[in-house]
Structure 1
Amino acid sequence: MRRYLILILLWVAGCTGVMPDDPAYRAFVAVAQDVEPVAEAECIKQNPNRNCDFDVQLDLDPQAPANAFQTVDRNGRPVVIFTAAMLETFRNPDEMAFVMSHEVAHHILGHLDQQRRNAVQGAVFLGELVSLEGGTPEEIANAQYVGAVVGARSYSKAFELEADALGTVITHLAGYRPSVGVRFFEQIPDPGDAFLGTHPANPDRILVVRETIRTYGLN
């Protein structure tokens, strides 16, 4: 079913001016078919009660910037979405598989659920604090918003590093080389270590991947 969904998307891409025989799109289909079953098996092993039926999709909006992310649909099914522009950033299938494995790892590790809980806790804490100090409804609402943002980002860097580690293993199990895939970090902007940033510095991520490769004897 997933295979046909991807092929239908590729047919639509051809109708909108994107050639379905483009090597990047062919690579996407192949990588998704390799990574998805490995991700599902790993998800079931770690979380037998979690929805592990991954849906890998392409966003064909020509205006969408290069991006890949994990979310869930209204039924709780995990969805991994790549934009068309994102596919053009990969230099080889190993990089594509590494990023895809990283995204599925977020769901397997429950990061989206944890992020939501952190956001709620942050909103409640800061909102109550301003309320106890006699804040107006508007001030309380603003405090809740700030608290939610801070709460959601509190552990985001740690989540990224955890997903990098598990994604490294999934990349290997899917038949790709994480030692090559990790080089993707060499060509994207380094976010550094900004306060409340959502991603850790690229050197930190590369270090985690290399340590995981060494620990498990991967390639």
Structure 2
Amino acid sequence: MRAALRLAQMLAATALLSACATLPAPEAAAPATAPRQPAISPDIFLAVAGDVEPVAEALCRAETPDQDCDFAILVDRDPRVPANAFQTLDRNGRPVIILTLGLIAILDNPDELAFVISHEAGHHIARHIPEQRRSAAEGARVFGEMAMAGGADRRTVARAAELGAFVGARTYSRSAELEADAIGTVIAFRAGYDPENGARLFSRLPDPEMPLLSTHPPNAERMAVVRRTLASLRGR
């Protein structure tokens, strides 16, 4: 079981690095008469990040003062990387939010950018990285023990633990996305942006084809969370 659990931890770490894909890589489109001009210029990006980061940091320090709350907001400038955004930790435990150029290029307005950054900050505030690791390890343990109880050999037990880690991480990810949507709504609202307009980004997301194996919940469910949270913030 130790080997199986180590495998589960490796799988969970791999999943966490890309756990918060905001949009898939854009499909090839028919040639247009003129290329789409990005709505988010470098100056707008810096302005939005500058508005959101101190609000996210303040909420993080208020809710989880034992964590490092000094967010670094970075851009992956490799044009080959698909549209994506994720939160991770550097080697010193500092929270890092990374957006790819592909994602920035398809955002329609500053509200969407603010919501994406706020959503990723929400993952850190809610401690989703360590929680997802625990969920993956627990899934590996349960599936591995079930296989052992059934008399499976070592290789089958390891495969069962791998599947358990996968299911555990994916199951936790869906609930974590909704929690990050709610926290992100609070951050974006307090930073002066419209989270509902920002969350209209979901309308351009394909719904998960296989909900059990997806890391993301249905888009309508995510939008409903944003609207409920925003109504609460507005006192309705």
- TM-score under structure 2 length normalisation: 0.79
Shift in Å, 1:192:
5.7
- Show the counterpart of 2:46: 29
Q: Distance in 1 between matches of 2:233 and 2:150?
A: 52
Partner of 1:60: 77
Length, aligned pairs only? 198
Q: Secondary structure at the match of 1:195?
A: coil
Please tell me whether the aligned partners of residues 103 and 163 of structure 1 are also in contact (alpha carbons under 8 angstroms).
Answer: yes
Q: Distance in 2 between matches of 1:23 and 1:148?
A: 38
2-side partners of 1:23 and 1:106: how far apart?
Answer: 23
Q: Distance in 2 between matches of 1:131 and 1:193?
A: 28
2:57 and 2:71 in contact (8 A); partners too: yes
* Matched residue type, 2:88: T
Secondary structure, counterpart of 1:88 in structure 2: helix
Maintained 8 Å contact 2:40/2:108: no
Shift in Å, 1:201: 0.8
* Aligned pairs for 1:134-213 within 5 A: 134-191=151-208, 194-213=211-230
Give per-residue Cα distances to partners, 1:24-59, cap 9 Å, x unaligned.
322221111111111111001001101111111110
What is the one-letter code of the residue matched to 2:194?
R
Task: Give the whole-Å Cα distance in 1 for the aligned partners of 2:177 and 2:183.
Answer: 10
Contact preservation (8 Å) 1:25, 1:87? no
Matched, 1:50 2:41: no
Q: Which residue of 2 aligns with 1:109?
A: 126
Whole-Å Cα distance in 2 between the matches of residues 162 and 57 of structure 1?
23
Find the partner of 2:56 among 39, 44, 48. Answer: 39
C-alpha separation between the residues in 1 aligned to 2:88 and 2:230? 27
Task: Tell me which moved more, 175-184 or 114-123.
Answer: 175-184
CA root-mean-square deviation: 1.7
| Alignment match of 2:147 (pick from 119, 122, 130) | 130
Relative contact order (C-alpha < 8 Å, sep 6+): which is higher?
Answer: 2
Identity of aligned residues (%): 50
Structure 2: stretches of 5+ with no match in the other structure: 1-38
In structure 2, the partner of 1:77 is 94
Gaps of 5+ in 1: 1-21
- Confirm or deny: 8 A CA contact 1:192 1:200 kept in the other structure: no
1:190 and 1:154 map into 2 onto residues whose CA distance is: 16
Task: Look up the SS of the partner of 1:82 in the other structure.
Answer: strand
Give the whole-Å Cα distance in 2 for the aligned partners of 1:99 and 1:192: 23
Give, in whole Å, the separation in 2 of the partners of 1:133 and 1:188: 41
Measure, in 1, the Cα distance between the counterparts of 2:195 and 2:99: 19
**In structure 2, C-alpha distance between the alignment counterparts of 1:23 and 1:185, rounded to whole Å:** 18
Is the alpha carbon distance of 1:140 and 1:192 closer, same or farther for their aligned partners in structure 2, counting shifts above 3 Å? closer
Displacement of 1:193 in angstroms is: 6.5
Deviation at 1:89, TM superposition (A): 1.2
Q: Which AA in structure 2 matches 1:42?
A: L
Alignment partner, residue 93 of structure 1: 110
Deviation digits for residues 85-138 of structure 1, max 9, x if unmatched? 110111100010011100100100111111000001111121122123222221
TM-score after normalising by structure 1: 0.85
User: For the Cα contact (< 8 Å) 1:193–1:200, is it kept in 2?
Assistant: no
Match for 1:131: what amino acid?
Answer: M
Contact 1:64–1:85, Cα closer than 8 Å, also in 2: yes
